[in-house]
Amino acid sequence: MYSLIAALLSSLATLGLVSVFTKTSYAVLPAMAVLGGVYWVLARRHSKVVEGLMEDLQREIQQQRVPTAIRMLKGAYPHAKWVFMLKGQIDGQIGTLHYIQKDFDDALPLLEDAWVKHWVAKGMLASYHFRHHKSDKAFETLDAAIAATKKEPMLYGLKAYMQFKMKDRDGAIASLQAGKAKCPSSAPISSNLIRLQNAESLDMTTFGEQWWQFHLEKPSMKQQMALAGVSGKPKGGKKAMYR
């Protein structure tokens, strides 16, 4: 990482200069301060540039101009050389866009390289493995993501869904109970836990439209209309808004 290299060089220079001019053993203190300060300034500068892309990126995605959004994200890769873990975040974001578009061949390597805290990317990777009958890899991926991001309800929901599909109701209940312990205010976790305890099926639609991006279920025609913001009312009626 260029920021760390620059910070180390600046720190060593400071160490040498302070040692020469002060002839004391305390040169390490300003050297450490320079190390942290230089890295923070450089990393923050490049992070801010990437953050500035996000508003334009969201606009492109909302307008369904996904190829343009992907090109914009690829343009941020040079900044990743200056910031730890930034490349994994960019990989994850591009991978999720490919996955949503069902471009799985391009999505897979990016989702694998994504930062473990990019929980959407890791949830999609687990979903891909599960759809291809690689449940061990799916659960391994989810467990790592949950360990890194303990308070994301969807991860527990995904794990419970997969367990339920594999006829492991008790395992699904345990996953939702773990999710409720970490995310006590999550209505989807609580409602699905009650459903399983009452010998009913899961209802993943309680997670909202975000659920469909994992491609584990296909929305009905009515649900597709809702996602598109169409209320089904006669022409001239007020359309429902979905966000």
The answer as to whether 97 is a domain residue is no
pLDDT at 1: 57
Q: Is a pLDDT exceeding 90 seen at residue 223? A: no
The label of the residue with tokens 């409720």 reads 180
Range(s) of the domain holding residue 80:
1-84
- On whether residue 167 sits in a domain, the answer given is no
Q: Which of 36-40, 61-65, 219-223 has the lowest mean pLDDT?
A: 36-40
Q: How far apart are CA 31 and CA 53, in angstroms?
A: 34
The predicted model gives 220-238 an average pLDDT of 54
Q: Does residue 2 sit within a domain?
A: yes
Summarize pLDDT for 203-217 with one digit per residue, the tens.
999 999 899 999 999
Q: Does residue 67 form part of some domain?
A: yes
pLDDT given for residue 242 in this prediction: 25
Instruction: Give the number of domains in the chain.
Output: 1
Residue 159 covered by a domain: no
- Kindly state whether residue 184 falls inside one of the protein's structural domains: no
Model pLDDT, residue 222: 75
- Across all residues in the chain, what is the average pLDDT? 81
Q: Is residue 77 part of a domain?
A: yes
Quote the CA–CA distance of 13 and 214 in Å, as a whole number.
50
Q: What is the mean pLDDT of residues 54-59?
A: 76
At 51, the amino acid letter reads E
Kindly report, residue by residue over 9-34, the tens digit of the pLDDT: 555 555 555 565 665 566 666 656 65
The tens digit of pLDDT for each residue in 116-135 reads: 999 999 999 999 999 999 99
Residue 60 forms part of a structural domain:
yes
Compute the average pLDDT of residues 109-121: 96
Under a CB-based contact definition with an 8 Å cutoff, are residues 93 and 76 in contact? no
Of 61-70, 73-82, 148-157, the one with minimum mean pLDDT is 73-82
Q: pLDDT tens, 153-193?
A: 999 999 999 999 999 999 999 999 999 999 999 999 999 99
CB neighbours of residue 44 within 10 Å: 14
User: Which segments of the chain does DSSP mark as H helices, in order?
Assistant: 2-22, 28-62, 66-74, 77-80, 86-100, 104-113, 119-131, 135-148, 153-165, 169-182, 187-197, 221-227
What's the burial of 194, exposed, middle or buried (CB within 10 Å: 0-12/13-18/19+)? exposed
- pLDDT at residue 44, rounded to an integer: 65
